[in-house]
Amino acid sequence: LADREIDVVDICTPPALHAAMIVEAMEAGKHVICEKPFTGYFGRGDDKTPIGKHVPKSLMYERVMEEMDKTCAAIKSSGRLFMYAEDWVYAPAVAKTVEILKATKDKILFMKAEESHSGSHAAHAAQWSTTGGGSLIRMGCHPLSTVLYLKQVEARSRGERIAVSGVTADVGNVAACLAPPERRFINANPVDVEDWGMLTLTFSDGTKSTVFSGDMIMGGVRNVIETYTSGGTLFANITPNNHMTSYLTDEEKLAGVYITEKVDRKTGWQFICLEEEWTRGYLQEIQDFMECVAVGRQPRAGLDLAYETTKINYAGYWSAEDGRRIAL
């Protein structure tokens, strides 16, 4: 942080470390890129552990909002750029959805979005105290941010104001019923977080969106969003997609060949992901961020999106625990 030659810091640590590192870097005069999720609730000294099983989600929501407000105030007072590393917003399939929405000015009536796979290999992903939740925030933040972003694209195109007015959610540990021999291809091993989560958003214009994430879905990473509008239907298949499909038979010969993320084998029918960094929006994301730093403009994915995503994720956890809709 003391190196004046460094203009930008990219925070890629476990989520429990994000907020403090963001503030420290910005106080040192650095622009900040922060990986998802923006932040979360990771426990306080008097919490009974494990916190995911013992701390009420309504209290988590209250404390997360307080802490986010402090972090956001520090970011805004620093005069530096905050760039939220939400790659879905930059993925070509989502960018084309944006182009079409701007051209047609159609009303989005319903969106259905998902990120799922067979579970994280990272040990910290199993615990609320390091990750701030399970599949719903660790993966579900991607599709959630994207439906929020697309509704704002629609709102600006139509000259409207649209916000999330209510959240309903459910979470669970659906793989907990499996004996160890039946979990061979499921990497998730939760301590106090969910492996299955579903959000339903109601927007102020009466339209809806669902967001699903699961840590027990095999066959590679699913990054998909379906958008149903007053004028048509748009399916953004980030992954898997059919750029290239294969049917191969010899696993050993394929040892050095990359197929796609999170598949447990390379044989049989596969959807091969070509130019994965481009297809999933990583290159476009960094291009946008560096241009923002160079010319001083705001990024496509910034502080407002990071804040709203975390807020709604935690409203979802509150809803799931209380078994009711949370009004926002």
pLDDT bin (cut points 50, 70, 90) of residue 56 is: very high
What's the pLDDT at 220? 93
Q: In what order do the strands lie in the sheet with 208-214?
A: 232-239, 222-229, 108-116, 208-214, 196-203, 164-172, 326-327
For residues 63-71, average pLDDT: 97
Task: Give phi and psi for 55, each to the nearest 5.
Answer: -90, 125
Give the chain's end-to-end CA distance (angstroms, integer).
38
Q: What is the mean pLDDT of the segment spanning 77-94?
A: 97
Which H helix or E strand runs over 135?
helix 135-138
Mean pLDDT of the chain: 97
Give dist(CA 1, CA 231) in Å, integer.
Answer: 50
What pLDDT, on the 0 to 100 scale, is given for residue 125?
A: 94
> Residue 209: which H helix or E strand, with range?
strand 208-214
pLDDT tens digits, one per residue of 1-29:
999 999 999 999 999 999 999 999 999 99
Instruction: With CA atoms as reference, report the closest residue to 196 among 212, 214, 178, 219.
Output: 214
Query: Which residue is listed with tokens 């625990």?
Result: 321
Kindly report the pTM of this predicted structure: 0.96
Nearest in space to 30 (alpha carbons), one of 6, 54, 55, 46: 6
Residues 285-323 have pLDDT tens digits of 999 999 999 999 999 999 999 999 999 999 999 999 999
Banded model confidence at residue 65, pLDDT cuts 50, 70, 90: very high
Architecture in CATH for domain 87-239+307-327: 2-Layer Sandwich (3.30)
Q: What is the distance between the alpha carbons of residues 153 and 147, in angstroms, rounded to a whole number? A: 10
Residue 133: Cβ within 10 Å count: 29
The whole-number average pLDDT for the span 152-173 is 98
Q: What is the pLDDT of residue 259?
A: 95
Beta-bridge mates of residue 164? 203
Residue 85 φ then ψ, to 5°: -80, 65
**Using CA atoms, how far apart are residues 65 and 71, in angstroms rounded to an integer?**
10
What pLDDT, in 10s, does the model give residues 167-199? 999 999 999 999 999 999 999 999 999 999 999
Indicate the DSSP class of residue 175.
G
Mean pLDDT of 54-61: 98
